Structure 1
């Protein structure tokens, strides 16, 4: 029986080649999209699950509100991990990580450094918490001694080639020597952080025991059977016992008084496997993903697949008249309804299986491009994983059954006497379900179009918004500390080059960076109610000018005033917290040592206009500029039109003063754009899938239009004989479809508005959802539908009426 079904199904598909092509093409694109997004979703959900203790590892985090700042941190005080291990038997182990960013690294005796980005201090318990297999070395002792380092296999090849690195010396930043004590496998791609160098925590030069400074990523392993929710209640005890006394010593109030003033200090835990997709804390070890995008892409995959299935259902039921006599004859000859339904279901599944084969080819071709869009490294071999193999088997059968069940039941329900007498009515106007499915198709397409427009509008807004400083043509020289005492000489020599307007040496630039706040007080008033928590940036005389910032009150630092070394410039947010524009000339103080016992006083010289130094997802916080030497960032404003030549000249100056040190630079606008790489990828992916959804919907509409034109061939001929114009006939054939698209616009608009409102909620600064966006999306949908339908309508309208009347 099955063999007979397959033979008949194959012959039917060959006979209706146009319909078969539309169905297979639509289903193949839909299935390919579904497979690509499934690979993406599975990859996102797999993060950190390679750890054997992943279900028991938690990261401790801090929520703090103080001095006008409300922060949610992925870091905690340095004593947090050891204290939890010591005081609570439920804690099996802990590890702290302290990321140190970019360092220059070389083998001892080598004159040339390599720039390394992934360097982290870690406790000796690192390998007891995370599953990081060592190729050589003892995991229990590898980081137990000061000035030891465990390096990745890739780092070992970069620095030592084929030599055994264990026991050899690496020099960091030209002055710190570490002995290689182990080589580990490269960290998996699906880890929420990556490091090629783990330095022994005992070598981290830090004033230990600071409960009020949050600088360490702390992970704990709970013993089996421990309820994490119950254990988290112990954090209040930790606050009262350890953080409270230090806070009272610093600001003179208890924790309870601190909280009653509207402030907040809380610690909590997040599961390791939730960090990548669900954590939105500040000071993450690496940029995270977002579970919201997993949901969005999953929904998009489902919508595109549904659109493709709807095409199949629409075209199958629309073609019912052409197969009505076949059904009637078969029933007269004794075929049961279930046999007819089985035949049509077989055709549906066979079509889907063929579409799946085409989809696999599309996936193979599209995967490199999709990886580039999604910033992934997925491989075609991943389709052979147990999960994907089961999907490859189940998906075409499920889709075939879903797409074919209604047409099968519909076709097999024809009464033989009715169809053999030619009384079957399958007019378009009576096909309510078919119309509803077309509405659904275009509704989903319009939602995707609106989403794409909004994402691109927000990205354009980000790129063009006045940030309070001029980031165009500002060159940042990386690793300027390698110049040591030659840094000022380098700045002066570069300033002499034609095309260089100004230059500055500073601690920070308004680009992505991990920074911490300090508490400032009005002079002589160390009171937590009057404290302002703000960042302190070390700058020079030329910082404000180089970055194109504006002073709204007071003055900039000046070489003509020797007292400016104790001056400070506040941004508008900080000035407001201290009392507004009248703050000029007032004195404010902050603790100048780790123990918070020595106060340093500054005189407010000016107020700089607020500028965005963090993502536009956040409001502008309090910030101050102080005149202190720093080589953390050397930047130059350029005016040259021949940038490649100027960069070569700057590099020559660098190599003359820092031989053997790698020259690395970045333009500030590129650095700023890095904060929005995720949104840019989402915009590109959304645009791609929106176009595919519209394409699939148009394929179905094209087939339906062809069918309707064929069904009304005689009517068109009569109308032309009676004087109807081509334009009027095109309008007649198009209006029913356009009505459905207009209904789709009305239904899609509120859904799209709600969805994009939720997405924009993550941004403190964002575009408005204006009516014209929805009108534009609707116009695009109507235009596409009209073009699709008009092709068949014009073709039918231009047909010779004699031929049309002879057709029946």
Structure 2
């Protein structure tokens, strides 16, 4: 019986090639989109789940609001881990991780450049599932200066030799590390990646007892069945007990007094939430994570694509009811019952879905490299062949069969055999109303995606062209000049001799991309005010960056030692209460030697030194140049400057190649997630419109066939082709117009919510909706018009000869 259903179903698909092609093409695009997004979402959701204790591991994080400064940090104080393990019976284990920067490796006189290095507690491998392949597998970090290295690093340095017991030197700190074990490379779907994990037993920072300095990423393992909220409820008491006494010494205020107007505390974050649910300051994160909002957005797009394709199937199947009415009537007269007819039509839907799925897999294979590049992933086709995904794919085929095929099956099988044999079905009435509703739904999604794409594009253009308070164009950042040591100043002088170079500044602090970070406590009249960020610069920084000095003067060697002089931004002047008369005013900074008086010598215009997601924060500039350099070129074509820069660099025989970047590129990379979203939205908006228009084309084709005789009569009576096109188009254009009434308010609300993530953002203008309407209506009318015009130009004699 099943074989008969499938055979008959295939014959009907072959018989109605036009309708079947539209259905299968739409379904193929929808299924291909679902496959891609399914694998993307699955990859994003898999982060850190490879750890055997993943469901019990939490990260301790720090949140505070102090005099208007909101602090969200993923690092906490050194003693937190052991304290929570000792004081909370719900905590089974606790471990710490500290990231080290600019690590250069040497082995037996061979230089291996920069590698990622982290200091971890000896029990780190008891908490995280990082398999050790050779060496000490039980307690590899139980000695000071012991290190576990990755398989890739072991291969690069030691080749096929056994690295265990060998000594690696971290040259910039002259630190000797003894290789105790080799671990598998940390999986891609981890929120941290290191080539070397060094024991904290030899790390001075790990022995700190201060509850006022945050240095460590701290992880707890909770007992099975313990709720995070249960542990979090006990943290305020821990904060008061250990932070309170030190707070009095540090800022002269008790914990209870401080909490009256401020908030400060430790909180817990599930390990599996870190990748998608983190909004901590960039300086306290290990790696840039994902964003759960985009998971929701892309999942919704996949569902909408699939639903639209299913709607096409339902629309065309029910619209072509009159063609199949006689078939249904004859089947019923010959003894077929309703269930048999339902199975028959579901079989046809199953065959169409199966063919569409095969085409979708081919499309997925062809577009996978492009999608990986776009999404920044390394998804492989073999991922789809895993049992779980294959089972999901089969389930998807059944789901689409039911979604797309059930309504047409029940609708067609319900025909009265007498009316069916008389062909008294014109596609009007209730079925027509449902089809109209489905067309409106399709174009609500299509128009909404177009609006979303336009809004994202406008916001990205705004970000690109916004006045940032500095000139980001024609700036070249060189980050590793400190490797030249005593030759660094000579290197800078050689660069300044290049006629294409306008100016050079010596600083490791950059307002976009990778940058050093310094923060300190600020006091006024001996009372703690809040923390503020510092930039360490030289006298060339402000002119090189194109910043605007509003009050006072710049740093200058003419004034001798200016270690206690600073330049502040407008925001800092506002918070310090200096207003527009800040020059000469003083405040204090907390140092290791106590409070130190600082005098303001200048005020610069506010500039965006963080992402536009955040408001401009107070900033203090002090003269203490170190690190890399920033070069302003006189020309936008910096290839010649870079070429000369490389030649000068090599004259000093450094151990590494020149590490440079264009600041404009680093700025754009800050918004890479938003740009990816915009690009993906654009592509899926196009695909959605294509699928919707495929369905619209099919419906217009059917309508023109239904009204074939009417069109012929109208032409004989003098109607022009334009009038007939208008006749066939008006109902469909009306449906597209109605979709705008629903789509535009909905898309405005959703995109306005998205824009709230930006402190600096566009206002959504009515012109965007007009443009979206023109694009959608234009594509829809073109789709309708092509088929309508063909019908209008047909010879009326042919239609009048029928029957």
| Fold shared, TM-score > 0.5 on shorter chain | yes
Once the two structures are TM-superposed, the CA of residue 157 in structure 1 deviates from its matched residue by 1.8
Q: Is 1:124–1:140's contact at 8 Å kept on the other side of the alignment?
A: no
Q: Note the C-alpha offset of 1:626.
A: 0.5
Contact 1:68-1:533 within 8 A present in 2 as well: no
Query: Which secondary structure does the structure 2 equivalent of 1:431 belong to?
Result: helix
Instruction: Describe how 1:46-57 pairs up with structure 2 within 5 A.
Output: 46-57=46-57
The change in CA–CA distance for 1:546 and 1:428 in structure 2 (over 3 A counts) is farther
Task: Report 1:158-173 matches (<5 A).
Answer: 158-173=156-171
1:445 matched residue in structure 2: 446
Instruction: Give distance in 1, aligned partners of 2:178 and 2:316.
Output: 71
Aligned-pair CA distance for 1:717: 1.1
Which residue of structure 1 aligns with residue 191 of structure 2?
Answer: 192
Note the alpha carbon deviations across 1:460-480, whole angstroms, 9 max, x for none: 111111111111111111222
The more displaced of 565-574 and 195-204 is 195-204
Farther-moved stretch of structure 1 (251-260 vs 786-795): 251-260
1:690-719 deviations in whole A, cap 9, x for unaligned?
Answer: 111111011111111111111111111111
Deviations 1:756-789 (A, max 9, x none): 1221111111111111112211111111110000
C-alpha contact 1:441 1:697 (8 A) present in aligned 2: yes
Kept in 2: contact 1:337–1:413 (CA 8 A): yes
**Offset at 1:326?**
1.0
Q: Per-residue deviation at 1:142?
A: 2.3
Matched, 1:182 2:181: yes
**What's the CA shift string for 1:193-244, capped at 9, x where partnerless?**
2111212223434371221111211111112233322222222122112111
Summarize deviations over 1:503-539 as a string: whole Å, max 9, x none. 11124111234635211123xx2213xx132111211
Following superposition, the deviation at residue 658 of structure 1 comes to 4.2
1:671 aligns with 2:672: no
Matches within 5 A, 1:631-650: 631=627, 633-640=628-635, 643-650=638-645
Distance 2:81 2:685 in 1: 47
2:267 corresponding residue in structure 1: 268
The 5-angstrom pairing of residues 531-546 of structure 1 reads: 531-546=529-544
Residues 1:785 and 2:784 aligned together: no
Aligned partner (choices 520, 534, 539) of residue 522 of structure 2? 520
2:557 alignment partner, SS class: coil
The residue number in structure 1 matching 2:609 is 613
Whole-Å separation in 2 of the counterparts to 1:226 and 1:426: 60
Q: Which residue of 2 aligns with 1:460?
A: 461
Match for residue 567 of structure 1? 565
Q: Which residue of 2 aligns with 1:475?
A: 476
Residues 642/290 of structure 1: CA separation in 2 closer, same or farther (3 Å cut): closer
TM-score using structure 1 length:
0.96
Q: TM-score w.r.t. structure 2 length?
A: 0.97
Number of the residue aligned with 1:421 = 422
Secondary structure of the residue aligned to 1:485 is: helix
**Secondary structure in 2 matching 1:472:** coil
* Alignment map for 1:172-321 (pairs within 5 Å): 172-174=170-172, 175-206=174-205, 208-260=208-260, 262-282=261-281, 283-321=284-322
Q: 1:430 offset after TM fit, Å?
A: 6.5
Count of residues in Structure 1 that have an aligned counterpart in Structure 2: 797
Contact 2:633 2:641 in 1 (8 A): no
Superposed counterparts of 1:744-783, under 5 Å? 744-783=739-778
| SS of 1:224 mapped into structure 2 | coil
Residues 705-724 of structure 1: matches in 2 within 5 Å? 705-724=700-719
Distance 1:22 1:502 in 2: 62
Shift of 1:123: 1.4
Structure 2 residue matching 1:427: 3-state secondary structure? coil
Following the alignment from structure 2 to structure 1, what is the Cα–Cα distance between the partners of residues 429 and 163? Answer: 76
Task: Write the distance in 2 (CA, Å) between the matches of 1:538 and 1:612.
Answer: 17
**Is the Cα contact below 8 Å between 1:533 and 1:622 reproduced in 2?**
no
Give yes or no for contact 1:113–1:662 (8 Å, CA) kept in 2: no
Instruction: Give secondary structure in 1 for the equivalent of 2:625.
Output: coil
Q: Is the 8 A contact 2:318 2:431 kept in 1?
A: no
User: Kindly tell me: are residues 805 and 546 of structure 1, through their superposed partners in 2, closer, same or farther at Cα, counting changes over 3 Å?
Assistant: same
Question: Mean Cα displacement is larger for which, 53-62 or 150-159?
Answer: 150-159
Aligned to 2:103: 103
1:140 to partner: Cα distance: 4.5
Aligned-pair CA distance for 1:642: 5.2
C-alpha distance 178-498 of structure 1, shift in aligned 2 (>3 A): farther
The 1-side partners of 2:155 and 2:225 are apart by: 42
Measure how far apart 1:139 and its partner are: 4.3
Correspondence for 1:592: 591
Q: CA deviation at 1:102?
A: 3.5
Q: Equivalent residues in 2 for 1:134-149 (5 A)?
A: 134-149=132-147
Q: Any gaps of 5 or more consecutive residues in structure 1?
A: none
Instruction: State the match for 1:44 in structure 2.
Output: 44
**1:46-72: CA deviation from partner (whole Å, max 9, x where unpaired):** 111100111111000111122441111
Q: Is the 8 A contact 2:322 2:424 kept in 1?
A: no
| Separation (CA, whole Å) in 1 of partners of 2:774 and 2:102 | 50
List, as ranges, runs of 4+ consecutive aligned residues in structure 1 with deviation greater than 4 Å.
none
Taking structure 1 as reference, are residues 77 and 521 closer, same or farther at Cα in structure 2, changes over 3 Å only?
A: same
What does the per-residue CA deviation read over 1:135-156, in whole Å, with 9 as the maximum and x for residues that have no partner?
1222443223232322111112
Q: Deviations over 1:589-648 (max 9, x none)?
A: 21221xxx52222210001111111111111111100112322x3111112465333212
Q: How does 1:481-520 map to 2 (within 5 A)?
A: 481-512=482-513, 513=515, 515-520=517-522
Deviation at 1:369, TM superposition (A): 1.2
Match of 2:623 in 1: 627
